[in-house]
Amino acid sequence: MRWIAGLFLIAHGLVHLAIWLPKPDGKAPFDVGHSPFAGNVRQLASALAIAAAVVLALGGLGLIGGAPWWSPVTVAGAAVSAALLLLTFNRWWLIGLGINAAIIVLTLQQP
């Protein structure tokens, strides 16, 4: 089970790169570099996506390897991801916010 959870965290982190780093497509239903609160945030969103990917991947690797630091790293990664989703908010991100909330709650419940 540890492997599955660790691989999920790594995959969740990599999804951030797949969504926020490619050049914007005019056919996409929304612009991931646009914030309803702050306008054009492409550079900040890209930086947060990279940070979330790296930190979540580290958390996943730490979990797989049984490192004692995996829990706070994972919570930090999910928090960065949630901040990114809130910055570029649209209704499509509600599932992502739920995933991040579940990651935080389940991680904090581990002994």
The residue extents of the domains of the chain are: 2-21+37-108
pLDDT over 90 at 80, yes or no: yes
| Mean pLDDT, rounded, for 76-95 | 96
What is the rounded average pLDDT for all residues in the chain? 95
CA distances from 17 to 66, 84, 95, 107 (A): 25, 12, 17, 23
Mean per-residue pLDDT for 92-99?
96
Please give the pLDDT value at position 7.
98
Residue 111: the pLDDT is 77
Secondary structure (H, E, C), 9-31 = HHHHHHHHHHHHCCCCCCCCCCC
What value does the mean pLDDT take over residues 69-75? 98
> Which residue is associated with the tokens 């209704």?
91
Which pLDDT score, from 0 to 100, does residue 27 have?
84
Residue 42 has pLDDT above 90, yes or no: yes
